[in-house]
Amino acid sequence: MANILDIFRTQTGAKLLEQSNKLTNLELERLQNAFVYTFPALLNVYLIKGVSNIVKPENLIELIESGDLTEFGKKETEYLLTIKEQKTILEFSGILAIEIEAFKNILHISTAVLATIISEMNRKQENEFSGIVKTLAGINTKYNEDFLKVLIKNPDDPNFIGSREEISLGRDTNDEDSSILGGYAGGR
């Protein structure tokens, strides 16, 4: 079952952390910890309030690479959250020992990323908004494939899904790896 935090298992997540590092000057681990707080909080708000009417970027990867995350995210955050809701989420900065201004930028980036993902997934007219948000929250799997298509723009890559060894052991090997015995003792 996919959820929004699976973004960090993809190249898109690596690009997001790299660009966020440039925008906030925070180390990658602290950034990822901050996103672990902001993404679920924002998904809850989207589930309660619904979709905004702000025109959203068409491509998440292009948005991340262009570096316009904070500007778009600021507009979306102001539309989505009341001042009180923003203050509540920004209180997480104390827990994570991140300066409030840096955490505010992370909130804007998180909002931009989620809004764009939701917008891309919502392009198909048959997709339900609440189902999209529930998929991103990990509550259901209805739109997992659409979410993965947003994160990975090259779905034809044969290495998209790891082998059973990679999945179960967390190793980057598969059945086609050559044996250390080189075939002398019945190895592969």
Please tell me whether residues 123 and 174 are part of one structural domain: no
Please tell me whether residues 80 and 173 are part of one structural domain: no
Please tell me whether residues 107 and 172 are part of one structural domain: no
From CA 162, how far away is CA 170, in angstroms rounded? Answer: 9
Query: What range defines the domain where residue 172 resides?
Result: 161-188
Q: Can you state the percent helix, strand and coil of the chain, rounding each to 5?
A: 65, 0, 35
Residue 4 reports pLDDT greater than 80: yes
Mean pLDDT across the chain:
80
Please tell me whether residues 169 and 124 are part of one structural domain: no
Please tell me whether residues 98 and 146 are part of one structural domain: yes
Higher pLDDT, 94 or 166: 94
Higher pLDDT, 10 or 162: 10
Residue 129 reports pLDDT greater than 60: yes
Residue 161 reports pLDDT greater than 70: no
Query: In this predicted model, what pLDDT tens digit does every residue of 93-119 receive, in sequence order?
Result: 999 999 999 999 999 999 999 988 888
| Range of lowest pLDDT (37-41, 150-154, 170-174) | 170-174
Please tell me whether residues 106 and 167 are part of one structural domain: no
Please tell me whether residues 122 and 181 are part of one structural domain: no
Query: In this predicted model, what pLDDT tens digit does every residue of 48-68 receive, in sequence order?
Result: 887 655 567 778 888 888 867
Segment 23-48 mean pLDDT: 92
Please tell me whether residues 57 and 83 are part of one structural domain: yes
All residues at 6 or more sequence positions from 62 whose CB lies less than 8 Å from its CB, including other chains: none
Local structure of residue 152 (DSSP, 8 states): -
Report angle CA 19, 24, 28 to the nearest 5 degrees.
65
Please tell me whether residues 92 and 177 are part of one structural domain: no
Please tell me whether residues 84 and 118 are part of one structural domain: yes
Please tell me whether residues 111 and 93 are part of one structural domain: yes
Q: How far is CA 185 from each of CA 43, 84, 91, 130, 176, rounded to the nearest angstrom?
A: 54, 68, 61, 56, 17
Q: Under DSSP, is residue 143 helix (H, G, I), strand (E, B) or coil? A: coil
Please tell me whether residues 114 and 136 are part of one structural domain: yes
Q: Is 69 exposed, middle or buried, given 0-12, 13-18 or 19+ CB atoms closer than 10 A? A: buried
Q: pTM value? A: 0.77
Higher pLDDT, 126 or 10: 10
With contact defined as beta carbons under 8 Å apart, do 13 and 20 qualify? no
